[in-house]
Amino acid sequence: MSAPDVVRLKTPVTERDHAVGPLDAPVTLLEYGNFECIHCGQAYPIIKQIRNLLAGDLRFVFRHFPTVQTHPHSLHAAEASESAGAQGKFWEMHDELFTHQTALEDPNLIRYAKHVGLDVARFSREMSEHLFLMEIETAYQQSLFDEHVTGTPTLYLNEIRYTGATDLQTLLEAIKQSAPEGRIRLPTKASRIRQAVNKLRRNTGG
Q: What is the pLDDT of residues 95-131, one digit of tens each?
A: 999 999 999 999 999 999 999 999 999 999 999 999 9
- Residue 128: partners with Cβ closer than 8 Å, 6 or more residues away: none
- Rounded (10°) angle between helices 133-145 and 74-85: 120
Of 12, 130, 15, 146, the C-alpha closest to 79 is 130
Query: Domains of the chain by range and CATH?
Result: 18-204 (3.40.30.10)
For 128-149, what is the mean pLDDT? 96
Predicted local confidence at residue 151, as pLDDT: 94
Predicted local confidence at residue 185, as pLDDT: 76
* 97 touches 77 (CB < 8 A): yes
- Residue 56: partners with Cβ closer than 8 Å, 6 or more residues away: 21, 22, 25
Q: Using one digit for the tens of pLDDT, what is the confidence trace for 154-200?
A: 999 999 999 999 999 999 999 999 998 878 877 665 555 556 556 65
For 27-31, what is the mean pLDDT? 98
Predicted local confidence at residue 5, as pLDDT: 81
Of 98, 91, 110, 197, the C-alpha closest to 153 is 98
Predicted local confidence at residue 181, as pLDDT: 80
Confidence of residue 139 (pLDDT cuts 50, 70, 90): very high
Confidence of residue 152 (pLDDT cuts 50, 70, 90): very high
For 145-160, what is the mean pLDDT? 96
For 11-32, letters b (16+ CB in 10 Å) and e give eebeeeebbebeeebbbbbbbb
Computed over every residue of the chain, the mean pLDDT equals 91
* 20 touches 91 (CB < 8 A): yes
Q: Using one digit for the tens of pLDDT, what is the confidence trace for 75-92?
A: 999 999 999 999 999 999
pTM to 2 decimal places: 0.89
Amino acid found at 203: N
Confidence of residue 205 (pLDDT cuts 50, 70, 90): low
CA angle 77, 152, 9 (to 5 degrees): 110
Any idea what DSSP says for residue 3? P
Is residue 1 pLDDT above 50, yes or no?
Answer: no
